[in-house]
Amino acid sequence: MKKTSLTFYFTFLVIIISVFIFSGNRTSRLKKIKSTDTLRILTDNNANCYYLYRGSPMGFEYDLAQSFAQYLDVKLKVVTPEWNKMFSSLQNNEGDIIAANLTITDHRKEHVDFSKGHLTIRQHIIIHYNNRSIKSLSDLNGKKIHIRSGTSYHQRLNQLISRGLDIELVLYKDLPTEEFIRMVADKEIEITVSDSHIARLNRRYYPQIRIGIPIEEEQQLAWAVEEGDDELLGEINKFFDKIKESGEYSKIYEKYFANIEIFDYVDIIKFHQRIDKRLPKYKPIIKKQAQKYGFDWRLISAIIYQESHFDPWARSFTGVKGLMQVTLTTAREMGISNRLDPAQSIRGGVKYLKTIYRRFKEIEGMDRMLFALASYNIGYGHVRDAQEIARNKGLDATKWSVLKEILPLLRYRKYYQNTKYGYARGTEPVRYVNRILTYYDILRQRSIS
C-alpha cells in the first residue's frame, strides 16, 4: 500500500512538473521574440499576404506584421512554408505566429489559438461574368469546383457535401486563390471559391469574373498562435486594438483594398484594352517626364487615363484639352504652346502636378500626392479651404482620410460661405482620386515594364 502511494505521488509530481515546464515554454514565446530581437511570421507568398514588388516586400498581412514588429520593437522575419504546412511549421517552432489571411473556423481551433478577428469576410462562388446560371446553392449540383486543399473553402464545401449537395471538388496542393480567379476569367475552369475581399480586389485585374452567391455566413480573419500561448495572444490583441483606434489599421487596409466595393465593369474592361492599345504610344514620354519629376510613371499613366482615356484630342466643355486636360492658363505658366500635342501636354501636366505637390510641404507620405491630385482636379485653393474646415472641426488636416470626408462639404453654403474660394463640387475630387488609385493599382499589378 505504501509503495503504491509513493508511486502515485511520484507520478502526480512528474505530471505537475511537466505541466509547469510545458506552460513555461508556452508563455516564453514572447520573451524569446524580444530576446532574439526577431518576430517570425508564417505567411503565404501571394498578392494578399506577402510578395516582392520591384525588390520591396509588400502585402496586407506583411504590413500588419511589420507594424506589430515595430510595436514590439523587434525585427521582422518572413517565413513562407507551403500552405498545407502552415500549422505544422508553427508547431515545429519555425515561426511565432501565422499571419496568412486565416479565417477562424472550429476545425482550426483544434490546432491553434486565434487572436481577435481583424477583418470580416464571406466566402463566395466565383464564376465568369457571362455565367448567369448559378443563382442558388442547388444550382451547383453536378458541378466541379476547383479550390486549394486544406483551406476554409475546402472545409465549407465538405460540409455542404455532407448535407447533400452533389458537387465534385477538384483539389490543388498549393495554388493561390487569385490564380483560380484568373482561371475562371480565362474560362479554363468554371467555378472556384474566394473570400469577398480577395474577390473584389482581383475583379479589378480580371473584370471578366462575377462574384456569385455566398456559401457561408460572415467570418473573421485573424492571426494564429500555438495553443495555450496566452501571453503572445494577449499582446497581439492589444496591438490590434491600438492600431484600430489610432487609424493605422485603416491606413494599411486602404493601401491594398481601397474602393474595392466600387466596380464599373465597362470602364475597367476599357481600361485594360487601352493599356494594351493606346498606352504604348505614350509610354516613353510618360516615363521620361515621370522620372524627371520623381513620380512613378504608372501613377502618371493612371492620371492621364482618368483625364483623357489616352485620347490626345480630348476636350472638355470647361475648355481644358489634351492628354492631361491642361487649362490655357496652366499651359502658359508651364511654357507649353500646344495642348493637343501629346508630348507637350504630358510635359506641362506633370510639371504642374509637381508644382502643386511641392506646395504641400507639411504633408507626408502618399497623402501628399493625394492632396496634389485633388488639387489638380478641383484647384489648390479649394483643397486649402477644405483643410481649414477640417482644422475648425478639430480634425487632422494633413490626412487624406480626413480631407476626403471634408471636401464634399464645399457644396453647402454653411461651409463654403466662410471660405476664401467659395463653392466647389467637392465630391468630384474624391471620385477622381479614387479612380486614379484604382487604375494605378491595376498598372502596378500588371507589372508593365
Which residue numbers are catalytic?
A: 307
Residue with cell 491594398: 256
387-424: burial string, b at 16+ Cβ within 10 Å, e else: bbbbeeeebebbbbebbbbbbbbbeeeebbeebebeeb
Q: What is the DSSP string of 149-190?
A: TTSHHHHHHHHHHHTT---EEEEESS--HHHHHHHHHTTS-S
According to DSSP, residue 326 is labeled B
Q: Report how far Cα 372 is from the mean position of its chain's Cα atoms.
A: 22
Q: How far apart are CA 224 and CA 313, in angstroms?
A: 55
Alpha-carbon dihedral angle through residues 130, 136, 137, 139, given to the nearest 10 degrees: -60
Residues across the chain: 449
Residue with cell 476599357: 270
Q: How far apart are CA 211 and CA 152, in angstroms?
A: 18
CA proximity to 328, closest of 292, 352, 293: 352
- Nine-digit cell string for 331: 499651359
116: three-class secondary structure by DSSP: coil
Q: How far apart are CA 355 and CA 429, in angstroms?
A: 18
130: three-class secondary structure by DSSP: coil
383: three-class secondary structure by DSSP: helix
Q: How far apart are CA 244 and CA 239, in angstroms?
A: 9
255-287: burial string, b at 16+ Cβ within 10 Å, e else: ebbbbbeeeeeeebeebbeebeebbeebeebbe
